[in-house]
Amino acid sequence: MFGFLKKAFGKTGDAIKEVAPTKRREIKKEDFEDILLEADVNYDLVEKLLEGLPRTIGRIQAFNSMITVFQYEVDFKESEAKPFVEMVIGVNGAGKTTTISKLAYRYQQENKSVILGAGDTFRAAAIEQLSRWAAKLDIPIVATQQGHDPSAVVYDTITSAQAKGFDRVIIDTAGRLHTQTNLSEELKKMIRIAGKAAEGAPHRKLLILDGTQGSSSINQAKAFDDMIGIDGIIVTKLDGTAKGGSILSIADELKMPILYIGIGEKPQDLIPFKANEYINTILDEIFI
């Protein structure tokens, strides 16, 4: 796991090394501040993390300060429903389709049967891309033509899963800008139709955030949460950015469960997020 995380936060580690080129047992408080800011932790949170710390900081003190960001209660949705229906949400370019393929691959490795629903009918490219991944992973998909009603895709996918005994349903959604009223109403309708097809569906609504956007993705998350309510977050593209500290900002602002992080393009490049391992990976770049 640590090897995967080191890969994921390689560019963040490089950025930290520019500020703190030599690892040491203790660092000055102002140096710790510079490191956090360089890794894209927002300023207000940095100030909060520094409160109560001495002028010289050791690894344990740094860890104890940073781990407090993740000590919030979350309303985590567990369900024994079969099929378990997940709806994947996020703006275009965040990595939704690739993340869906990674989730599907992960469930396959857990010996769970999966069916996909191409609910982003706004873009023909989204339907084609998801269909290619389904073929590559040998997973069935319910898809229609561009411009068709995405709620019909939701209904057909869930009822097909029920009829054939699938364990998991993963539904893609359109990723137009979250400020658009059309998208808001479309997502709400898809959720209503999912509930009619299966009680309690969708059982989990997952928001995909682009890690290269850093702390700016927080506003997207708040907008989607206000719109439909988000149950969990997946942060993508972390291997391609020096903004790995933004996860601290995301956790602090949103207080939602960060379930997975994406660290590459391959189906296996999705790993469960664990706060203590994440913090230790960052601290490994600072302390001996």
Predicted confidence at residue 244, as pLDDT, reads 86
Predicted confidence at residue 22, as pLDDT, reads 84
CATH code for position 246: 3.40.50.300
Q: Do residue 59 and residue 152 come from a single domain?
A: no
Predicted confidence at residue 287, as pLDDT, reads 93
Domain that holds residue 18: 2-70
Q: Are 246 and 209 in contact (CB under 8 A)?
A: no
User: Does residue 280 sit within a domain?
Assistant: no
Q: Do residue 98 and residue 239 come from a single domain?
A: yes
Last residue of a domain, one of 70, 94, 109: 70
Predicted confidence at residue 4, as pLDDT, reads 61
Q: Do residue 59 and residue 99 come from a single domain?
A: no
Q: Do residue 62 and residue 88 come from a single domain?
A: no
Q: Return the top range by mean pLDDT from 31-35, 79-83, 88-92, 138-142.
A: 138-142
Q: Do residue 191 and residue 260 come from a single domain?
A: yes
Predicted confidence at residue 213, as pLDDT, reads 84
Return d(Cα 271, Cα 273) in angstroms, integer.
Answer: 6
Q: Do residue 117 and residue 259 come from a single domain?
A: yes
Where b means 16+ CB within 10 Å and e means fewer, 153-177 reads bbbebbebbeeeebbbbbbbbbbee
Degrees (nearest 5) of the Cα angle 99, 66, 71?
75
User: Does residue 279 sit within a domain?
Assistant: no
Average pLDDT for 104-130? 96
Q: Do residue 151 and residue 205 come from a single domain?
A: yes
Q: Do residue 106 and residue 43 come from a single domain?
A: no
Q: How many domains does the chain have?
A: 2
pTM for the full predicted model:
0.93
Exposure of 26 in the CB half-sphere (CA atoms within 13 A): 9
Q: Do residue 180 and residue 40 come from a single domain?
A: no
Kindly report which listed range (44-48, 136-140, 263-267) carries the lowest average pLDDT score.
263-267
Last residue of a domain, one of 11, 36, 70: 70
Residue 214 has pLDDT above 80, yes or no: no
Q: Do residue 26 and residue 161 come from a single domain?
A: no
Q: Do residue 188 and residue 260 come from a single domain?
A: yes
pLDDT tens track for 11-52 = 888 888 888 768 899 999 999 999 999 888 999 999 999 998
Instruction: Band the pLDDT of 1: cuts 50, 70, 90.
Output: very low
Return d(Cα 20, Cα 231) in angstroms, integer.
Answer: 37
Q: Do residue 158 and residue 48 come from a single domain?
A: no
